[in-house]
C-alpha cells in the first residue's frame, strides 16, 4: 500500500494506505496485549517465563560472558564450549582430597535408622505433583512424561526404589549431573564467582524426597539437629535466624552492653565436604544399615559435566561434596556441621554454611573468649576439612566503636559498619534506614523492568505482576528490618505508590482511592499483619523452638480482651520499634478472642483480612 501510494500519489491511494496501516497497528496491539496476558498467566506457575521475557524485551545479557581460563591466562575464553571447559576444570579443582583422620570413639546412639521402605502410594503422590515445566536431567526423562504416566509407572518405580535402597546401590545414570554455573557476586569474568547447581535425574529426585522425609522425621523425633541451625528445616528460615539474632542484640543494647559479632564464611562448603568424614558423622547419629550404604553410593562415583548454553564440557568425576541441586544434599550438609555450635561458648546461629557468632563485651575477658571461639572454629574447620575463607570473614561492633580486633588463621578480620546478613542489611546501630533503602531500590528495579517490558498494563495484569514479583521483594524478611522511622516507612510505601500510578485510568486518583480500586492495602498494614502472624505462630509452636521465649504471658487478670495476651516489657534505651517482641504487643493484645483462638495459620490470616477490611471501611 505504501509503495502504491508513493507511485500514484492520489487521495484514494493515501486513504487506502492509512486504513491498512491503522488496521495493522490495531491488530499488532491486540496481539501484543494477548501475548503479554499469556506471559503473565504462565509466569504464575513458571516465574522464569516472565524473567526470560523481561530480559528479552530489555536486552539484558543473562548469558555467561567471556571468562579468564586461570590466573595465568593472557586472554579471555569466548566460545561456549571453552567456557564450559573452564568451569568444569575450576569446579573439579576445588574438590577436597580427603586426608586420614582418627575418629573419636563416641557412645553408640540409642536410636537408629537403618532402612527406608518405599510405598507405591508415596511415589504416585510425588509423580502427580511434579512440576511439568522443569527441565529433564541427564537421562532425558521429562517430568511431564512421568507426571502424565503416573498411574502406570508408580508401581515399577517403587519396586526399583526398594531394590536400590535394599541393595544400597544406585544405577550409574542416577548419579550423573549436568551442572549450570550460577553467578554469585563480583566480576562475571572469573569462574570462582559462580556456584555449581546440579541438574540430576527427575526419577532419583523422587526417591530422594522420600528418603529425605524419613530422615528429617527421624532427626526431629530424636532432636538430633541443633536448634542453632535454621537452614532447610520446617519451622526455621532466614527470617527466624534474623529475628533471633536481632532480639538478642536489641536486648543487650537496651542494657547498654556492647556486642561484637563475627560473620564466618566457609569456602565452597557444599562442594568440599569429605565423604568419609560425613559418613562417620551419619553413623554417630544412628544412620546405618542399608540406608547408610545407599547414601554412600549416592555420594561416591558421581560424574558431572558443565553446560553453557547448548555446549557441554567433558565428564569429570566428583571427588567430594554434597551435590547442590539435589534433594538430599542440604540435609547431609546440616548433619556435617551439626556439632559445630556445641564447641562454642558464645552465642551462635547458622543458616546452612552461613555462621555468625556474637558476645556481649563487658570486659577484656569477653573479647578473649570470643577470640577463643574463633580459634575453636578454625580448628574444627581444619579437622573436618571444611576451609574458612578468611578474606570474606568480618567483625561488626554493635552499639559501640570497639577497639578489639579478632583473627582467624593468623589473619586479622576487617571491621565493618554494616553487613548483608542473609539478604538483609544489618548496621552496627541496628537502625533500619540502610536495609529499607536497599529494599526500596530492589523493588523499584523490578518495577521498572516490568514497566519497560509490558506496554499494556491494565489493572488485572498489574495486580498479578506486582503481587507476584514486586511486593515480595518489599516484604522479604521485613519483620527483621521493620522501618523504625516514618521516612523509612514512606520510602517503602513509595514503591507501591509509584506502581499504582502506572495503571491507565486511575493514575491521577488519590493513593488511597487507587488502593481501594485495586483491592490493595498499604504496606504498613501488611507489615502489622505479618508481625501478628509471627506472634500467632510463635505462641502455637509453629516456629523454631527457641523463639516462643520472645513473649511472656500476661500476668494481669483483665476481663477485657482475649485470654492469650502477652506481657509488654519496658524498654530502657532502645525504641520499642526495633524489636518484634515489643512493637507488636499492643496490636496483639487488642485482637478479638475469636481471632486468636483460630485453629490454623490460614484461618488466622483470613480473620485478620476481615478485620483489616472492616478497619479500612471505617
For residues 144 and 139, give the distance between their C-alpha atoms in angstroms, rounded to a whole number.
14
For residues 460 and 457, give the distance between their C-alpha atoms in angstroms, rounded to a whole number.
8
Q: What angle do CA 362, 366, 368 make, to 5 degrees?
A: 145
Q: What pLDDT, on the 0 to 100 scale, is given for residue 579?
A: 83
Quote the cell numbers at residue 488. Answer: 523509612
Quote the cell numbers at residue 41. Answer: 498467566
Query: In which band, very low, low, confident or very high, does the pLDDT at 24 lie, cut at 50, 70 and 90?
Result: confident
pLDDT tens digits, 75-98: 788 888 999 999 999 888 889 899
For residues 613 and 617, give the distance between their C-alpha atoms in angstroms, rounded to a whole number.
6
**Three-state secondary structure readout of 533-584:** HHHHHHHCCCCCCCCHHHCCECCCCCCCCCCCCECCCCCCCCCHHHCHHHHC
Beta strand pairing call for 194-199 and 67-68: unpaired
For residues 81 and 307, give the distance between their C-alpha atoms in angstroms, rounded to a whole number.
8
pLDDT tens digits, 246-288: 989 988 988 889 999 999 999 999 999 999 999 999 999 999 9
For residues 511 and 574, give the distance between their C-alpha atoms in angstroms, rounded to a whole number.
33
Mean pLDDT, rounded, of the chain: 87
CA count, 13 A, side-chain hemisphere, 306: 24
The residue among 550 and 393 whose pLDDT is bigger is 393
State how far the alpha carbon of 199 is from the alpha carbons of 29, 171, 196, 205, 208, in Å.
Answer: 39, 16, 10, 10, 14
Q: What pLDDT, on the 0 to 100 scale, is given for residue 300?
A: 94
pLDDT tens digits, 35-78: 877 777 777 777 777 777 776 766 555 678 888 876 666 678 88
pLDDT tens digits, 138-177: 888 999 999 999 999 999 999 999 999 999 999 998 999 9
C-beta neighbour count of 1 within 10 angstroms = 14
- pLDDT of 608 above 90: no
Q: What pLDDT, on the 0 to 100 scale, is given for residue 131?
A: 86
Query: In which band, very low, low, confident or very high, does the pLDDT at 357 lie, cut at 50, 70 and 90?
Result: very high
The residue among 579 and 338 whose pLDDT is bigger is 338
Give pTM, 2 decimals.
0.88
Query: In which band, very low, low, confident or very high, does the pLDDT at 113 lie, cut at 50, 70 and 90?
Result: very high
Query: In which band, very low, low, confident or very high, does the pLDDT at 5 lie, cut at 50, 70 and 90?
Result: low
Q: What is the mean pLDDT of residues 483-492?
A: 93
The residue among 588 and 332 whose pLDDT is bigger is 332
Q: Which residue has the cell 487521495?
A: 11
Q: What is the mean pLDDT of residues 468-476?
A: 92
Q: What pLDDT, on the 0 to 100 scale, is given for residue 325?
A: 84
Rg of the Cα trace of the chain?
28
Phi then psi for 566, rounded to 5 degrees?
-120, 155
For residues 161 and 121, give the distance between their C-alpha atoms in angstroms, rounded to a whole number.
13
Q: Taking the chain, what is the end-to-end CA distance rounded to the nearest angstrom?
A: 61
Counting residues of the chain whose pLDDT is more than 90, the rounded percentage is 54
For residues 534 and 584, give the distance between their C-alpha atoms in angstroms, rounded to a whole number.
10
pLDDT tens digits, 529-559: 999 999 888 888 777 666 656 766 655 555 5
Amino acid at each position: 500500500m505504501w509503495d502504491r501510494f508513493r507511485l500514484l500519489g492520489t487521495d484514494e491511494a493515501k486513504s487506502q494506505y492509512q486504513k491498512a496501516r491503522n488496521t495493522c497497528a490495531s491488530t499488532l496491539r491486540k496481539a501484543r496485549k494477548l501475548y503479554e496476558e499469556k506471559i503473565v498467566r504462565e509466569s504464575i506457575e513458571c516465574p522464569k517465563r516472565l524473567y526470560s521475557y523481561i530480559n528479552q524485551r530489555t536486552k539484558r545479557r543473562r548469558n555467561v560472558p567471556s571468562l579468564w581460563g586461570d590466573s595465568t591466562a593472557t586472554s579471555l575464553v569466548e566460545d561456549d564450549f571453552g567456557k564450559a571447559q573452564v568451569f568444569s576444570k575450576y569446579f573439579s579443582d576445588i574438590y577436597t582430597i580427603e586426608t586420614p583422620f582418627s575418629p573419636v570413639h563416641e557412645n553408640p546412639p540409642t536410636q537408629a535408622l537403618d532402612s527406608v521402605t518405599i510405598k507405591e502410594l508415596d511415589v504416585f503422590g510425588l509423580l502427580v505433583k511434579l512440576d511439568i515445566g522443569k527441565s529433564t536431567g541427564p537421562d532425558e526423562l521429562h517430568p511431564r512424561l512421568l507426571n502424565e504416566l503416573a498411574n502406570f509407572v508408580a508401581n515399577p518405580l517403587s519396586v526399583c526404589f526398594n531394590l536400590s535402597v535394599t541393595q544400597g546401590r544406585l544405577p550409574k545414570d542416577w548419579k550423573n549431573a549436568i551442572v549450570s554455573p550460577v553467578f554469585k557476586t563480583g566480576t562475571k569474568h572469573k569462574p570462582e564467582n559462580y556456584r555449581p547447581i546440579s541438574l540430576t535425574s527427575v526419577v532419583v529426585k523422587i526417591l530422594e524426597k522420600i528418603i529425605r522425609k524419613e530422615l528429617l522425621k527421624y532427626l526431629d523425633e530424636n532432636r538430633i539437629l541443633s536448634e542453632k541451625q535454621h537452614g532447610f528445616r520446617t519451622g526455621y528460615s532466614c527470617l527466624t535466624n534474623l529475628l533471633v539474632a536481632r532480639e538478642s542484640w536489641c536486648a543487650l543494647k537496651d542494657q547498654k552492653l556492647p556486642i561484637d559479632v563475627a560473620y564466618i564464611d566457609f569456602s565452597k562448603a557444599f562442594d568440599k565436604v569429605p565423604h568419609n568424614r560425613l559418613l562417620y558423622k551419619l553413623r554417630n547419629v544412628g544412620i546405618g544399615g542399608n540406608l547408610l550404604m545407599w547414601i554412600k553410593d549416592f555420594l561416591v562415583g558421581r560424574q558431572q559435566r558443565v553446560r553453557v548454553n547448548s555446549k557441554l564440557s567433558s565428564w569429570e568425576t566428583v571427588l567430594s561434596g554434597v551435590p547442590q541441586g539435589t534433594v538430599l544434599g542440604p540435609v547431609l550438609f546440616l548433619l556435617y556441621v551439626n556439632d559445630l555450635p556445641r564447641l562454642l561458648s558464645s552465642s551462635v546461629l547458622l543458616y546452612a554454611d552461613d555462621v555468625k557468632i556474637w558476645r556481649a563485651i563487658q570486659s577484656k575477658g569477653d573479647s578473649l573468649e570470643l577470640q577463643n571461639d574463633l580459634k575453636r572454629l578454625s580448628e574444627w574447620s581444619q579437622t573436618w576439612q571444611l576451609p574458612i575463607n578468611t578474606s570474606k570473614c568480618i567483625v561488626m561492633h554493635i552499639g559501640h566503636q570497639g577497639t578489639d580486633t579478632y583473627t582467624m588463621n593468623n589473619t586479622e578480620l576487617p571491621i565493618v559498619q554494616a553487613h548483608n546478613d542473609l539478604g538483609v542489611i544489618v548496621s552496627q546501630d541496628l537502625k533500619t534506614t540502610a536495609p529499607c533503602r536497599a529494599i526500596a531500590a530492589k523493588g523499584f528495579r523490578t518495577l521498572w523492568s516490568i514497566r519497560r517490558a509490558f506496554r499494556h498494563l491494565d489493572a488485572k495484569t498489574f495486580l498479578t505482576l506486582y503481587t507476584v514479583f514486586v511486593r515480595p521483594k518489599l516484604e522479604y524478611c521485613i519483620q527483621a528490618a521493620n522501618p523504625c522511622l516514618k521516612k523509612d516507612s514512606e520510602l517503602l510505601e513509595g514503591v507501591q505508590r509509584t506502581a499504582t500510578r502506572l495503571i491507565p485510568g486511575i493514575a491521577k486518583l488519590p493513593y488511597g482511592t487507587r488502593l481501594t480500586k485495586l483491592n490493595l492495602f498499604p504496606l504498613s498494614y501488611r507489615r502489622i499483619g505479618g508481625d501478628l502472624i509471627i506472634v500467632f505462630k510463635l505462641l502455637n509452636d509453629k516456629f523454631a523452638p527457641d523463639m516462643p521465649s520472645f513473649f511472656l504471658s500476661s500476668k494481669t487478670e483483665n476481663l477485657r480482651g482475649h485470654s492469650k495476651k502477652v506481657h509488654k516489657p519496658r524498654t530502657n534505651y532502645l525504641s520499642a520499634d526495633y524489636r518484634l517482641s515489643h512493637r507488636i504487643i499492643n496490636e496483639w493484645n487488642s485482637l478479638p478472642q475469636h481471632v486468636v483462638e483460630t485453629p490454623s495459620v490460614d484461618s488466622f490470616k483470613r480473620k485478620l483480612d476481615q478485620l483489616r477490611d472492616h478497619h479500612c471501611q471505617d
